[in-house]
Amino acid sequence: MVCRREFLSVGLGAALASAAVGANKFRWAISGQIMFDRNADLDKIKLGAQQAAKFHFAAIEPFTTNLTRFLDKPLVLKEVLDPFGLTFSTCSGGGDFVTTEGGKRTIENNVKLARDFLRPFGAKHLKVNIGGKGRRQAEGPSVDDLKATCATLNELGKRVLEEAGMKFGFHPHLGSVIENERETRFALEHTDPKYVGFVPDTAHLTLGGMDPVKLVRENWSRVVAIHIKDTDPKYRKVTPTSEESRNMQSLYKTLGTGGVDFVAFFDLLKQKNYDYWISLDFDAPRAGEGTVEENLANYTRYLQQTIKVWS
């Protein structure tokens, strides 16, 4: 239960967050990966909500793996988030988009996620990671695999719109079926813009050999929502080796490390009058990386003092 002092503090935080949204037009979410463990219990979720509100986030974006025991009980979680002025911006779905039977299961599972879990929170979009036949091979997906992926994306996006009334976007991601510029552009060119957009992540685009500012500018009409994180500056010029990619989490760095030109990226968002969710998509801190609260303080300080987009 939230005590009165905590509630008043959170209420002030929510008011400040609203002011920030009005000033910058951006809506800020924090990843459930940093706030919750896998298969989190209610106490862990309450603590995560309290921490997110303390730093004036308006939403949390969990993965389904964070909330496995509550995916059929959305109102239980809504009762936890409401007193903190929080919601779920979306819940990251995914699955096998390549094989015939896997694609059918993926469509049904993600439509259910959007329709039955996310709608009670007022979510407006569903974001998915793209799985396939197994671990990504060095040669990447075949053209046939990409065509199959696009067919699944089209059908899923159509049903998410028709059955849940939501936008839908795929997430280019290192190690997935859609990792690099060739695959990302193929997916955008072979899916229906009425049903399928994309959710760019500044670090994953960089790690996949792409320029986030250029790709997002050129495909602005397809942007559904945005993820941000940073990476090592060397990956502006070279993509990670297979060995580096196996330890993917170590490739993600705190904001301001230098792999992403966030000044140019946020200048683009301002030029385009972007006014939807930006999710700080980070994992829980590893050994030597500080506490969750220290990480949140560092992220928000960088956005406020260096990039000047956080009030």
| Per-residue pLDDT tens over the stretch 163-201 | 999 999 999 999 999 999 999 999 999 999 999 999 999
Which of helix, strand or coil describes residue 299?
helix
Which of helix, strand or coil describes residue 178?
coil
Nearest-angstrom CA–CA distance, 216 and 188: 12
Nearest-angstrom CA–CA distance, 300 and 302: 5
| Per-residue pLDDT tens over the stretch 78-116 | 999 999 999 999 999 999 999 999 999 999 999 999 999
| Per-residue pLDDT tens over the stretch 47-56 | 999 999 999 9
Q: In CATH terms, is domain 25-46+58-78+88-295 a member of 3.20.20.150?
A: yes
Supply the DSSP string of 113-133, one letter for each residue.
IIIIIIGGGT--EEEEEEE-S
Which portions of the chain are predicted below pLDDT 50?
1-23
Would you tell me how many other CB atoms lie within 10 Å of the CB of residue 263? Answer: 13
Would you tell me how many other CB atoms lie within 10 Å of the CB of residue 63? Answer: 17
pLDDT score for 247:
75
pLDDT score for 24:
66
Nearest-angstrom CA–CA distance, 108 and 302: 40
pLDDT score for 139:
82
Residue 52: phi, psi to the nearest 5? -65, -40
Which of helix, strand or coil describes residue 23?
helix
The set of residues, in sequence order, having a beta carbon less than 8 Å from that of 183 and lying 6+ positions away, is 140, 141, 146, 172, 177
Structure tokens at 142: 């075949």
pLDDT score for 12:
38
CB 183 within 8 A of CB 141: yes
> Position of tokens 């957009």?
197
pLDDT score for 217:
98
